[in-house]
Structure 1
Amino acid sequence: MKSHPKVEDNCLWDQNMKNQFTIPWKFPKLVVSSICLISVLCLFYTVSFSNVPSSSNQELGIIKTIHVVEQDTTPPPVPSPKSKPHEKTNLHHLVFGIAASARLWDRRKNYIKLWWKPRQMRGVVWLDKAVKNGSGDHLLPPVKISSDTSEFKYKNPKGHRSAIRISRIISETLRLGFKDVRWFVMGDDDTFFLPDNLVRVLSKYDHNQFYYIGSSSESHLQNINFSYGMAYGGGGFAISYPLAKVLAKMQDRCIQRYPGLYGSDDRIHACMAELGVPLTKEPGFHQYDVYGSLLGLLAAHPVAPLVSLHHLDVVEPIFPNVNRVQALKRLKVPINLDSAAVMQQSVCYDKTRSWTVSVSWGYVVQIYRGIFSVREMEMPARTFLNWYRRADYTGFSFNTRPVSRHSCQKPFSYFLSNALYNDGKNQTASEYVQHKVSSSSDCKWKMPDPSRIERVEVYKRPDPNLWDKAPRRNCCRVLPTKKKSTMVIDVGVCGEDEFIELR
């Protein structure tokens, strides 16, 4: 390759030439004009190249960004006057698109009222047709009717073409022109979100990049039939603003290419595949493709913030002897006190009585006769059934453990009854009351009987920065007490050298 002379050398040569030669006044005008023109061009050449940035990584990034903006004819979003470039992501930066059905709206809107914060959150409920306003509807997001999708092809014999309408919700919400948006969040009308935990999860990611965040199904067969790489819409998923903007440009054409797909979330996934954006999995989004009781799943929640609960109309109420809405209202009590810690499991031992204790904070405490390893306790007990009713335990996409039929090995469950915050001690106190089952007292083992424990008190300091650190279970400790029918437990961050020993 030939090496090009530096610009400075060219100009220096030109300056030296000027110093060494004088131009006679009778020199031809054409030559004089040519020399002047060359000097002017040299000066312009020097100035132009002096403005070119060096090839450091940071400066190359700036050049790349400018190149992308020049190709995109859509003007960039105008930030809100309240927006700060380096402000941490908060609820204001999220916009929700909620898929709803007019036929089920009167019942399911009560779920949304429980988690929606009208003065702090933004979003739209998208319905298939108009509904009548009811009392308390001012506590809900505004309602809009989805645009007509009859021109789109739909050929799946087992599904419903409403899937096309629902798949376009993110794009339709974007076109409403919300300002200062970082994330669009998709969910169903029977999805219960924990907004503060959702913010905690999304804050980990750069909203200026292309992100598609959610989780897969609990059913292995569901994931086989659809995809392990797909975010299931009922559990909710989030799309960063720049990705949503690109999706909106191509989505209608993309949808037309997949008339045989079943639902809305697999259509979104197909378009994401065309855009080359993989799913970023977060285990706190829960599709809950199961039937029955969620006790086993929630009592052994993964070490991740609880973000969403879905299929509330399908599964049993999460607390016994109440309806679904009442159960979620009870869950809101610990959510308001320490949302980061809700459903987080810790395991400890009452060694004097040979009991294993599992605490799912804000939900349930379980006491087992005998000593069980943490490895076993962190596996969900199969209190639930697969979405495919004929499938056995091998049909789940995660490890489970059986529910013992032996009366001595069944756990004693204590469900949350109340929780309070002590401002002076910066500590929460939560109370859990025994849910009595008749067969639990049939055990003939010669060891202390947990049925004599009627209530459990759990004390814990809130830790809003829990998920800013490397994930780790909290530790629990059984405390001495003079109350015969009460167990007292302390839950908190594990000490530097603290770990859970079996004996």
Structure 2
Amino acid sequence: MKDSSFSSPSCSSNLSLPKIILFLFISITLFYSIYTTNIICFPHQNPESLTTQTHLKTPPPISPVSKNLQTHLPKNESKTSLEHIVFGIAASAKLWKQRKNYIKVWWRKNETRGFVWLDKKVQVRNDDVSSLPELRISANVSRFNYTHKYGHRSAIRISRIISETIGLGLENVRWLVMGDDDTFFVVDNLIRVLEKYDHNQFYYIGSNSETHLQNIMFSYNMGYGGGGFAISYGLAKALTGIQDRCIQKYPGLYGSDDRIQACVAELGVPLTKELGFHQFDILGNPYGILAAHPVTPLVSLHHLDIIHPIFPNANRVQSLQRLKVPIRLDSASLMQQSICYDGSRGWTVSVSWGYAVQIIRGIVSPREMERPSRTFRSWYQEADPTGFAFNTRSFEKDTCWEPFVYFLSNAIYDDLRNWTASEYVLDRVSRRTCSSKKGADPSEIHRVEVYKTPDPFLWDKAPRRNCCRINPTKKKGTLVIHVGECREGEIIEVHSENKNS
């Protein structure tokens, strides 16, 4: 019950009670804001004293390396080139006769440096000497313990390639690059990736597995050895100093690459991810990944014995040899995807330069086209899209949306026009007739011509896809495409009419 005799106290300022409360609230809030700002921002009450009183000691002089906050080389050093890179290739005598042929495709006599490290001696033919790295036998590792029940203790031998290579005392080395005998390197693009980074600092550069479960089992923080990874010379020297002691700590690890990652982690160095290193922990046809390659230089391909040949009607070695032509003409653009539309015929066109062209009846957005189509399965035989460490899209079973695929057959350089002319031929596969009307029928197109000006400085700019344009032609059964840097204001969209570039 309320007491009627109660009366409010008087206030000399004649302010009402709500106004007093509001005034007090604003005052307290303002005081608290000033107080906390001083605590967070200024260690002393006078802000002007920040520059003089907080630096109680003169900092040590900044070295040229620590001054280099970005990943560029110090100004007094030349750009990284092939002569600065030493490859350490892990191999076994059991598989050497077959796998040496992969190395021969990418190895450059008198240009590339490195060694193949084997478990025991192999027979050497005369043509092997001039077309392969020097062969060396790894040191005995029987003193190290290995307890993983599903693995092989050769993982210890392979992990020590780094310290054994450093022990050779080679000069003018900036990077050690690890790979397997079934790894194919695009060395020009490897250089493009590594020259971004300062080899004097500690860098561990590579990429993950394509299969999600592999990354969960091993690590998303690990550079997978088959896809290849690079270690700066400074880090390699530091790793050599601790590696044998570190290996003893991890007898239960499965492979060589997770042992290296464990030891690199003890040095506090994370993995710097570059998506162009491809472990290819997949089964089946890698076409889907290669035709929608990330916007980054293609550096390596692995598991060449397991994946399908990347070109139809060719074996694995022949497929790699076919790539040598576009690599020689324009290595920076190899596998880079451009997307454009033929509005008059209702087609989506995708160019994976130097590899393949696909025509799809109907309009598919760039957002969908840049996702790899699932022409492959995960390492664990599953086709479930959640099994991959990246977004994918289903490979169309509806023949109306099934792509017409044209693979590289030839490429030349026209020095008068300063462009490359590459030819792609329809993959001869049986296909049913599409009953619905989703654009014109591409089956009459038997070949595609792609014209492009080489751009060796493509990766010195911000990552962006090239634009492609459909050109009019009187050549029967031929689609003519121009690929090049996007013009100002140009976007990837459907045009109702084709325009000459």
Q: How does 1:216-365 map to 2 (within 5 A)?
A: 216-365=208-357
Q: Deviations over 1:430-471 (max 9, x none)?
A: 000000221244445364110100000000000000000000
Q: Deviations over 1:331-374 (max 9, x none)?
A: 11101100000000000000000000000000000000001100
Give the direction of change, closer, same or farther, for the CA distance of 1:355–1:163 in structure 2 (3 Å limit). Answer: same
In the alignment, which residue of structure 2 is the partner of 1:438? 430
8 A Cα contact 1:191 1:310, kept in partner = yes
SS at match of 1:61: coil
8 A Cα contact 1:412 1:440, kept in partner = no
Match of 1:413 among 396, 405, 413: 405
In the alignment, which residue of structure 1 is the partner of 2:102? 111
8 A Cα contact 1:441 1:451, kept in partner = no
Match of 1:87 among 78, 90, 95: 78
In the alignment, which residue of structure 2 is the partner of 1:147? 139
In the alignment, which residue of structure 1 is the partner of 2:188? 196
Distance in 2, Cα, partners of 1:440 & 1:301: 28
8 A Cα contact 1:474 1:492, kept in partner = yes
Shift of 1:62: 7.4
Give the direction of change, closer, same or farther, for the CA distance of 1:128–1:368 in structure 2 (3 Å limit). Answer: same
Shift of 1:86: 1.5
Distance in 2, Cα, partners of 1:369 & 1:239: 46
In the alignment, which residue of structure 2 is the partner of 1:177? 169
Q: What letter matches 1:61 in structure 2?
A: S
In the alignment, which residue of structure 2 is the partner of 1:126? 117
Distance in 2, Cα, partners of 1:300 & 1:178: 39
Q: Deviations over 1:73-106 (max 9, x none)?
A: xxxxxxxxxxx95211000000000000101101
Distance in 1, Cα, partners of 2:59 & 2:66: 12
SS at match of 1:170: helix
8 A Cα contact 1:287 1:311, kept in partner = yes
Q: Deviations over 1:154-173 (max 9, x none)?
A: 00001000000001111111
Give the direction of change, closer, same or farther, for the CA distance of 1:63–1:154 in structure 2 (3 Å limit). Answer: closer
8 A Cα contact 1:209 1:242, kept in partner = yes
Q: How does 1:414-493 map to 2 (within 5 A)?
A: 414-445=406-437, 447-493=439-485
Q: TM-score when scaled to structure 2?
A: 0.84
Shift of 1:428: 0.1
Give the direction of change, closer, same or farther, for the CA distance of 1:241–1:160 in structure 2 (3 Å limit). Answer: same
Distance in 2, Cα, partners of 1:135 & 1:474: 44
Q: What letter matches 2:125 in structure 1?
A: G
Distance in 2, Cα, partners of 1:249 & 1:396: 37
Distance in 2, Cα, partners of 1:258 & 1:170: 17
Give the direction of change, closer, same or farther, for the CA distance of 1:473–1:447 in structure 2 (3 Å limit). Answer: closer
Distance in 2, Cα, partners of 1:323 & 1:135: 24
Distance in 1, Cα, partners of 2:89 & 2:447: 39
8 A Cα contact 2:424 2:449, kept in partner = yes
Q: Structure 1 regions of 5+ residues with no counterpart?
A: 1-53, 66-83
8 A Cα contact 2:346 2:438, kept in partner = no
Distance in 2, Cα, partners of 1:392 & 1:448: 32
Distance in 2, Cα, partners of 1:319 & 1:119: 29
Comparing 152-161 and 432-441, the one that deviates more: 432-441
Distance in 1, Cα, partners of 2:148 & 2:277: 27
Give the direction of change, closer, same or farther, for the CA distance of 1:304–1:485 in structure 2 (3 Å limit). Answer: same
Distance in 2, Cα, partners of 1:62 & 1:207: 13
In the alignment, which residue of structure 2 is the partner of 1:61? 63
8 A Cα contact 1:193 1:307, kept in partner = yes
Distance in 1, Cα, partners of 2:259 & 2:376: 29
Q: What letter matches 1:425 in structure 2?
A: R
SS at match of 1:233: coil
8 A Cα contact 1:410 1:440, kept in partner = no
Distance in 2, Cα, partners of 1:478 & 1:256: 60
Distance in 2, Cα, partners of 1:329 & 1:151: 42
Q: Deviations over 1:15-63 (max 9, x none)?
A: xxxxxxxxxxxxxxxxxxxxxxxxxxxxxxxxxxxxxxx9477x24379
Distance in 1, Cα, partners of 2:325 & 2:62: 50
SS at match of 2:235: helix
Q: How does 1:370-385 map to 2 (within 5 A)?
A: 370-385=362-377
Give the direction of change, closer, same or farther, for the CA distance of 1:121–1:62 in structure 2 (3 Å limit). Answer: closer
8 A Cα contact 2:410 2:423, kept in partner = yes
SS at match of 1:330: helix
Which of the two has greater helix per residue? Answer: 1
Q: Structure 2 regions of 5+ residues with no counterpart?
A: 1-56, 68-74, 496-501
Q: What letter matches 1:259 in structure 2?
A: P
* Alignment of 1:210 onto 2:202: yes
Q: Deviations over 1:366-412 (max 9, x none)?
A: 00000110000000000001001146221100000001111111000
Q: What letter matches 1:97 in structure 2?
A: G
Q: Deviations over 1:174-213 (max 9, x none)?
A: 1111101000000000000000000000000011100000
Identity of aligned residues (%): 66
Q: What letter matches 2:196 in structure 1?
A: K
Distance in 2, Cα, partners of 1:446 & 1:113: 46
Q: What letter matches 1:93 in structure 2?
A: H
Paired residues, what number? 431
Q: What letter matches 1:386 in structure 2?
A: S
Structure 1 runs of 4+ with >4 Å offset: 54-57, 62-65
Give the direction of change, closer, same or farther, for the CA distance of 1:425–1:270 in structure 2 (3 Å limit). Answer: same
In the alignment, which residue of structure 2 is the partner of 1:23? none
